[in-house]
Amino acid sequence: MASWQPDPSFYPSPRMAAKAPKETLAYVAAFDPDRKKPDAIAVVDVNPESPSYSRIVGQVDMPNVGDELHHFGWNACSSCLCPNAPHPHMERRYLVVPGLRSSRLHIIDTKPDPRNPKIAKVIEPEEIAEKAGYSRLHTIHCGPEGIYVNALGNAEGKRPGGIFLLDPDSFNVLGQWEMDRGPQELAYDFWWHLGHDTMVTSEWGTPDTFEDGLVPEILLGSKYGRRLHFWDLHKRKHLQEIDFGEEHQLVFELRPAHDPTKAYGFVGCVISLKDLSASIWTWYRDGDKWAVKKVIEIPAEPADPDLLPPVLKGFNAVAPLVTDIDLSMDDRFLYVSCWGTGDMIQYDVSDPFNPKEAGRIRIGGIVSRATHPKANNGPLNGGPQMVEISRDGKRVYFTNSLYGAIDPQFYPEGIDGWMVKLDVGENGGIEFDEDFFVDWPKGHRPHQVRLEGGDCSSDSYCYP
């Protein structure tokens, strides 16, 4: 796993990463919502010059069923070049792939043939529970000193959820990350400001409140996550909690500025109990504390109740349901997935406190069922969900499934999977690549996308 020279996909700064070669492959998590066949990591050809462009060209199946592959990441990234814990001779080679439902962790080797990855190691849930005290694994980030894994439940699937570390060479479970968790109990996403020695974490709920779908009583009672937590990254100590208020539920995806000198980032809130709107908030440094400000509000759209799933019929409206966001490498454009309405919205966030809409497309959606130029099966369901951006910011990829137990609550007929690509204009604006549409094979639904060599949510940097 070590090499004689730094991995060529590592870059000291986001400015340099934006000049990286174009990706030619994408790795996509695919899961069986019925938990009858193994989940898989699919390999999609994203090279427009290739005869197999926009097709699945490889796949590695998991050895078990029922994992629900979700958010995965690399064993190593550009943070290996950070001066506080340098190990630049690591190799970006292995995908670290957790099962959200099974709590199993898979180590996938993408070398020597990137189109035919192989399973190198499987870490069973019992080992993770014993060594780290956690279960329901959710997100992977490669950090300066190891691989960080967050989990939504403790060993019994209850509170608290949290983070543990893997050794980046042996993939041994090292143990729980938190030394002092303070009031934090719920977990969801996490990321950091390496230049400010700060970790940020968000909240969803404990496994018993989402594994069979969202529970209306818990949602309407404002009992899902609504807080951000700020931590001393070096001391592993909780510093501050910010409560978004009872109206706001499901504070999800975190996207800090890539420039390590900037102390701000963006987080999406899925739904407001007041009016079904979704929102984007900027967190930022305010004196010696952290603060948040709502900077985008996306309203619900009036809709014929006959076209709505039971969970929304009484509201006569379709909620945007912002379920993912992603930030371009130059910190200029924020992409917001509206899984309910079917919109992918591009905002210019050059001023992080005053975003301006720069582009919008619609595909799928609970009511609109908008199609794609290359789709040959008519109206599409699902909506923009997991979104990933190329390092140069010129290409945007996304898929349409959220979570096995929640998909049918909003799309009762079941989701037919797809993956699409957008092209980005020089000064903003987005449009479909009419030649790129992956009609996902039945039996699996696609979720997170990772791009060959890194992307805009895989790496962190220590130099501006």
DSSP secondary structure of 97-123:
EEBTTT--EEEEE--S-TTS-EEEEEE
Phi–psi pair at 22, nearest 5 degrees: -65, 145
Give the neighbor-by-neighbor strand order of the sheet with 105-109.
Answer: 73-74, 94-98, 105-109, 118-123
Of the candidates 206, 79, 36, the residue with the CA atom closest to the CA atom of residue 136: 206
What is the rounded distance in angstroms from the CA atom of residue 142 to the CA atom of residue 349? 26
**pLDDT per position as a tens digit, 205-222:** 999 999 999 999 999 999
pLDDT level of residue 174 (50, 70, 90 thresholds): very high
Rg (CA), the chain: 20
pTM for the complete prediction?
Answer: 0.98
- Going by C-alpha positions, the residue among 148, 147, 105, 149 that lies closest to residue 126 is 105
pLDDT in tens, 386-436: 999 999 999 999 999 999 999 999 999 999 999 999 999 999 999 999 999
CB atoms within 10 A of CB 427: 8
Per the listing, tokens 């509201």 go with 315
Q: Which residue is listed with tokens 């720069």?
A: 358
Find the length of the chain.
464
Lowest mean pLDDT among 71-85, 100-114, 230-244, 415-429: 71-85
Q: Which domains does the chain possess?
A: 14-451 (2.130.10.10)
Gap between the Cα atoms of 69 and 133, Å rounded: 20
Residue 144 pLDDT > 90, yes or no? no
Q: Quick one: pLDDT at residue 316?
A: 96
CA distances from 330 to 1, 12, 143, 239, 240 (A): 30, 14, 20, 29, 28
What is the 8-class DSSP label of residue 311? H
Distance CA 327, CA 459 (A): 12
Helix (H) or strand (E) holding 278: strand 278-286
Cis upstream peptide for 302 (omega within 30°) = no
> Would you say residue 151 has pLDDT above 80?
yes
What DSSP string runs through 340-377?
A: TTTEEEEEE-SSTTS-EEEEEEE-B-TTT-B--TT-SS
pLDDT at 411: 98
248's enclosing H/E stretch is strand 248-256
Indicate if the pLDDT at residue 100 is higher than 60: yes
Q: Is 1's pLDDT higher than 80?
A: no
pLDDT at 154 over 60: yes
Classify the C-alpha dihedral 345-348-352-354 as positive or negative: negative
Could you read off the pLDDT of 287-321 as tens digits, one per residue? 999 999 999 999 999 999 999 999 999 999 999 99
Single out the residue of 26, 53, 151 nearest to residue 447, CA to CA: 26
Interval 104-124 mean pLDDT: 97
Quote the DSSP letter at residue 426: B
Block residue for tokens 């949510």? 457
Q: Which residues contact 348 (CB under 8 A, 6 or more apart)?
A: 332, 333, 355, 356, 357, 358, 428
Average model confidence (pLDDT) for the chain?
Answer: 97
Percent of the residues in the chain that have a pLDDT greater than 90, as a whole number: 96
pLDDT tens track for 39-90: 999 999 999 999 999 999 999 999 999 999 999 999 999 999 998 877 878 9
Distance spanning both ends of the chain, measured CA to CA: 27
Q: What is the DSSP letter of 251?
A: E
- Written as six digits, the tokens of 404 are 């096995």
C-alpha closest to that of 197 among 91, 85, 58: 85
Q: Number of C-alpha atoms within 13 angstroms, CB side, residue 273?
A: 19
At a CB cut-off of 8 Å and minimum separation 6, what does 288 contact?
none
Where helices occur in 91-233 by DSSP H, the ranges are: 125-132, 216-220
- pLDDT level of residue 286 (50, 70, 90 thresholds): very high
